[in-house]
């Protein structure tokens, strides 16, 4: 059985993940999805080799420094690891929180000092008690102004707290992370941006980045919702489409009244848009149960994997 050495303690690791082995010993490492999607559980190998299977999706610079995802790591060889305390953390102040829909808030933040991030990347919001969750950026940032869209999950540990923050409150951010970003080296490739719920946030980040860069090809944004109230950026997206002739906004609302042009099935709508848009790069964001089938459809429709950028909002299963 392989042994994990962690801050002077020796922990035997069987088939369980490093995250679970640490938890068994009473050591808490921040975590969120427990599925390799969110990077909340980063730790660092300081002696021995980090399991490469637990480094998928990490930036090359993190891999080079020995970082790995504790929830994805099972050990076959002995390893000494340490918390990711040396990753930079930025303090941010809440500027305002706006109610966008019954269960969605826009949270506007300003970091202390500059904060370079691309629209569509995500940041880890860290609370003082160590609770950590990833949230996507609806804007590109250089000066440290950030916009998050947060869906209030009933009974959730982080999202209700974030939605109820008052202006002036402070929190900490790690990141940015993620590759679901606008490709500035592909200014003439059509874009299809599709998501449901707050999956709109990273798509809006990509759209804003594309427009800032003077993107020169059609951009179609499909926002899916169950009810019309779920189209929480309807007016702003209509206005954007009116201002920019290359932008098409296609809402798909399951329960919209008969005859309302916004009525439609999200999966079918995205399939039709993908079919009609040759050579597109396709961004898919939102809850995995809705987006995974769309990801599969998109691949089967002939879009190469390298042209599908997906950020699935994977959450930990209830325990």
Ligand X SMILES: Cc1cc2nc3c(=O)[nH]c(=O)nc-3n(C[C@H](O)[C@H](O)[C@H](O)COP(=O)(O)OP(=O)(O)OC[C@H]3O[C@@H](n4cnc5c(N)ncnc54)[C@H](O)[C@@H]3O)c2cc1C
Find, among 286, 270, 305, 291, the residue nearest to 192 by Cα: 270
157 binding partner (options ligand FES, ligand X, none; Cβ < 5 to 8 Å by kind): ligand X
Q: Identify the H or E element spanning 247.
A: strand 247-253
CB of 21 to ligand X, least distance (A): 21
CB of 200 to ligand X, least distance (A): 9
The dihedral through the CA atoms of 39, 40, 46, 51 has a sign that is negative
Pick between residue 32 and residue 136 the one whose CB is nearest to ligand FES. Answer: 32
CB of 158 to ligand FES, least distance (A): 13
- Residue 135, beta-bridge partner list: 123
287 binding partner (options ligand FES, ligand X, none; Cβ < 5 to 8 Å by kind): ligand X
69 binding partner (options ligand FES, ligand X, none; Cβ < 5 to 8 Å by kind): ligand FES
CB of 272 to ligand X, least distance (A): 26
CB of 193 to ligand X, least distance (A): 14
114 binding partner (options ligand X, ligand FES, none; Cβ < 5 to 8 Å by kind): none
CA 66 to chain centre: 23
31 binding partner (options ligand FES, ligand X, none; Cβ < 5 to 8 Å by kind): ligand FES
Q: Residue 117 — φ and ψ, nearest 5°?
A: -150, 145
Residues near ligand X (CB under 6 A) = 32-33, 37-38, 122, 133-136, 149-151, 153, 155-159, 198, 201, 287, 311, 313-318
Pick between residue 29 and residue 237 the one whose CB is nearest to ligand FES. Answer: 29
Pairwise CA distance, residues 303 & 275, whole Å? 9
Pairwise CA distance, residues 277 & 78, whole Å? 50
Q: How many CB atoms lie within 10 A of CB 245?
A: 8
CB of 289 to ligand X, least distance (A): 8
Pick between residue 45 and residue 125 the one whose CB is nearest to ligand X. Answer: 125
Pick between residue 58 and residue 92 the one whose CB is nearest to ligand FES. Answer: 58
Residues near ligand FES (CB under 6 A) = 31-34, 36-41, 69, 71
Pick between residue 38 and residue 294 the one whose CB is nearest to ligand FES. Answer: 38
Pairwise CA distance, residues 264 & 255, whole Å? 8
282 binding partner (options ligand FES, ligand X, none; Cβ < 5 to 8 Å by kind): none
Pick between residue 43 and residue 92 the one whose CB is nearest to ligand FES. Answer: 43
CB of 177 to ligand X, least distance (A): 8
The three-class DSSP label of residue 269 is helix
The answer to whether 72 and 53 are in contact (CB under 8 A) is yes
Buried b (16+ CB within 10 A) or exposed e, 35-63: bbbbbbbbbbbeebebbeebbeebeeebe
Pairwise CA distance, residues 5 & 78, whole Å? 8
């Amino acid at each position: 059985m392989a042994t994990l050495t962690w801050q002077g303690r020796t922990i035997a690791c069987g088939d369980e993940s490093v995250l679970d082995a640490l938890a068994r010993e009473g050591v808490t490492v921040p975590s969120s999805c427990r599925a390799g999607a969110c990077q909340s559980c980063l730790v660092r190998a300081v002696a021995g080799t980090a399991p490469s299977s637990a480094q998928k999706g990490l930036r090359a610079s993190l891999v080079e420094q020995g970082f790995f995802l504790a929830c994805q790591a099972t050990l076959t060889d002995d390893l000494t690891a340490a918390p990711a305390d040396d990753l930079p953390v930025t303090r941010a102040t809440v500027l305002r929180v706006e109610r966008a829909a019954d269960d969605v808030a826009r949270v506007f933040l300003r970091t202390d000092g500059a904060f370079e991030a691309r629209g569509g990347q995500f940041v880890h919001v860290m609370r003082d008690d160590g609770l950590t969750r990833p949230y996507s950026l609806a804007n590109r940032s250089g000066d440290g102004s950030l916009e998050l869209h947060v869906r209030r999950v009933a009974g959730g540990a982080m999202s209700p707290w974030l939605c109820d923050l008052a202006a002036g409150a402070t929190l900490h951010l790690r990141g940015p992370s993620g590759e679901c970003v606008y490709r500035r080296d592909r200014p003439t490739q059509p874009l299809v941006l599709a998501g449901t719920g707050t999956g709109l946030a990273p798509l809006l980040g990509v759209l804003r980045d594309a427009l800032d860069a003077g993107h020169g090809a059609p951009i179609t944004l499909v926002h899916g919702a169950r009810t019309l109230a779920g189209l929480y950026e309807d007016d702003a997206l209509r206005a954007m489409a009116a201002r920019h002739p290359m932008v098409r906004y296609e809402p798909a609302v399951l329960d919209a009244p008969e005859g309302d042009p916004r009525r439609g099935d999200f999966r079918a709508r995205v399939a039709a848009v993908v079919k009609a848009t040759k050579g597109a790069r396709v961004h898919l964001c939102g809850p995995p149960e809705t987006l995974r089938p769309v990801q599969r459809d998109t691949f089967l429709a002939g879009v190469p994997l390298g042209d599908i950028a997906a950020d699935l909002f994977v959450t930990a299963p209830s325990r």
